[in-house]
Amino acid sequence: MTRRRPHRVLAAVCAAAVLALTPAAPAHADAIRDQQWALAALHTDRAWQTTKGAGITVAVLDTGVDGSHPDLQGQVLPGKDLVGFGATRGDSSWALHGTAMAGIIAGRGNGPGRADGVLGIAPEVRILPVRVILESKDPARAKARKTRGTALAEGIRWAADNGADVINLSLGDDSESAHPDPGEDSAIQYALSKGISVVASAGNGGEKGDRISYPAAYPGVIAVTAVDEYGTHASFSTRRWYATVSAPGVDIVVANPDGHYYIEWGTSAAAAFVSGAVALVRAAHPGLDPAQIKKLLADTARDAPAGGRDDARGYGMVDPAEAIEAGSRLRPGDLGAQAAPAGHREEYFGPGPTPPPADDAPVNWAAPLAGGLGAALLAAAVVLWRGRNAPGRY
């Protein structure tokens, strides 16, 4: 890949307000795939020789998912709306972030030979959408924060009871008031106890104090930091003790309900890639439990930091192909550790190995998901236009 991409994105950030409303010139059919550098970086060609995720369901707890998007048609199951108000289908603030995450996980392209559009890391998985938060520009977002503070915990339990094999949480609270919530923690432990892996974005606070982000910091969660196409830790990506692995989170092409494709960045995208990677491992080795899968991803990660691990990249870049291969040598129960060891839970909520900055002291209560998508993927600008494939109603 060339180095021109970061410069284009930088310019796009400055013009985002304009470009978000003004589609770029029509792109060639292969332009989107040409920019999906993450698929090659994650060695998907090797992983897909074994599986593309068939038989696995990934729950996307987010702002909703547009199942009618050409890249996702046939992949999205009936879901659950735990907010109950706010933007609806066709509104400019409906299902943007959730659709982007679903495309990263399970997109399968569109057009002749499905050669156009976004291809996900696990294009044969099913997406189970659970709406637990509203978009940042939704006028009802403030109301949702005040009245739907338990939506995330409820959504995790609902997904666990309705067929999810993997739960993707490309969201979080890394505000000054963020602290562990017993209901969310309990819901995650419930999902883990049912054999469901939980993946979360580590947070986008790397340039704003590296504050702890929840749900990434809960026990048993696979917390994901972001790297660029050169494997370098993204400066915005939070550095914390809970980081498990890293994944692509810079210059990521995503699908959008408005018929455009965007380039976006954030640990949300990284978490979505790892959710897809977990789905591939689950499809290849259905008997492995969440603790085994988490350790497997750590053990097989590429480009490990000096010493084997650090707070910026965890154990290194996730490698689903290596994890699948190594998983064939495991048996269910090979790992004696529990997903959340009893008697050791306090270590997950302490300062961790990296001393916190002075402004990291917790306060007494958190606004539910106050960071919202602050630990989520941040938009850069419209970069590609589907042209003839754009849904008519948008």
Phi first, then psi, for residue 56 (nearest 5°) are: -110, 140
d(CA 144, CA 82): 10
Rounded (5°) CA angle 277-304-119 = 25
Phi first, then psi, for residue 391 (nearest 5°) are: -60, 135
Asked if 124 contacts 53 with a C-beta cutoff of 8 angstroms, the reply is: yes
d(CA 99, CA 307): 37
Q: Which pairs with CB-CB distance under 8 Å and at least 24 residues apart come from 331-336?
A: 331/287, 332/287, 332/288, 332/289, 332/292, 333/289, 334/292, 335/289, 335/291, 335/292, 335/295
Q: Tokens 């978000």, residue?
A: 20
Q: Which tokens sit at 204?
A: 């986008």
- Closest by CA position to 369, among listed 183, 159, 164: 183
Asked if 2 contacts 237 with a C-beta cutoff of 8 angstroms, the reply is: no
Q: Taking the C-alpha atoms of 262, 267, 272 and 276 in order, what is their torsion angle to the nearest 10 degrees?
A: 120
d(CA 69, CA 383): 18
Q: Which tokens sit at 284?
A: 């290849």
Q: Write out the catalytic residue numbers.
A: 62, 97, 268
